[in-house]
Every structure is written in structure tokens, then in C-alpha cells.
Amino acid sequence: MFSKTRVTETRPTPDAAPQATSAPIDRPATPEAAAPAAPRARVAPSVLSADLTVVGNIKTQGDIQIEGTVEGDIRAHQLTIGETATIKGEIVGDDIIVNGRVIGRVRGLKVRLSASARVEGDIIHKTIAIESGAHFEGSVQRQEDPLNNGGTKKLAPPSAE
């Protein structure tokens, strides 16, 4: 019954009824002028409070702040792990700030461990900052594309189990 069309599209949809137009609509001549200024509006990050426990994976293209407990993998644009948070799983993001506890692998373009951070696992990053006082047990590896699902250097093809 309904169809999804782009605002800048000029052709009618096959099931749409003809509409009367009073005047032609001026369209920008260049594609740059037709594109909106920002693809998505910046909104406040999603927050998981300290009294919340999530069992399962979390995936978002936006920003998220975790204050509670998550048992599962997290993927986000900007990910902030609060001081009261505990994450048991892999975290992946463009910008990761760890103030709490992470048990698992961390993969991010920018990774920052604050003085209150407790990380037990490997960190794969493009840039990293570790403040004095942070606790870290694991290995650190720099990669140009740490968000790639491979995560480590290709030494041999994976064995079938």
C-alpha cells in the first residue's frame, strides 16, 4: 500500500495515484547541492544504567554509554564504558573510552583507557592512549583497519573444527 521513495526523486511510483501539480519544483543542478548537510542528525548517546544487566549482543550505528553489566559483544560508533560497568565480550567501535571493566577483546580506531579502566584481553587499535593507573592484561596490536572482522594477522587459513 505504501512505498518508500527519496525526496529528491522525480519519477512517480508505479502504484501511486496521479497528482495534480500547480508549478514545477526547482531542483538543484548539482548532486552536492541536493544532498542534505548531514546524513543523520547527532543525537544523545543511548545509556544503559548501572542497575541494568544485558545478556546478549548490542549493535548500533550510534553512540552508547554503558554503566551496567553486559554479557555479550558490543558494536557502536562511539562507545563509553562507565566506571561502574562490566563488559564480558568483545567491544568494537570507532571511538572507545574505557573507564570500567572489560573482559574480552577491544577493537577500535581510537581506544582510550582511563586511570580507572580494568581491561583483561587483547586490544587491536589504530591509535591508543593509556592513562597512568589503568590496569591492562593482554596484548596490544596496531592495525590500519582494526574494525576488520579478521582482527589478527593472517598466518595460516583457519582450521575446520
The per-residue DSSP string of 86-139 comes to EEES-EEEEEEEESSEEES-EEEEEEEE-TT-EEES-EEEEEEEE-TT-EEES-
**133-155 confidence digits (pLDDT tens):** 999 999 999 999 998 865 444 44
pLDDT value at residue 138: 95
C-alpha–C-alpha distance, residues 139 and 121, integer Å: 7
Domains of the chain: which residue ranges?
Answer: 46-131
Q: Would you give per-residue pLDDT tens digits along the chain (161 residues)?
A: 445 555 555 555 555 444 544 445 554 554 445 445 455 566 788 999 999 999 999 999 999 999 999 999 999 999 999 999 999 999 999 999 999 999 999 999 999 999 999 999 999 999 999 999 999 999 999 999 998 865 444 444 455 55
In this prediction the pTM is 0.67
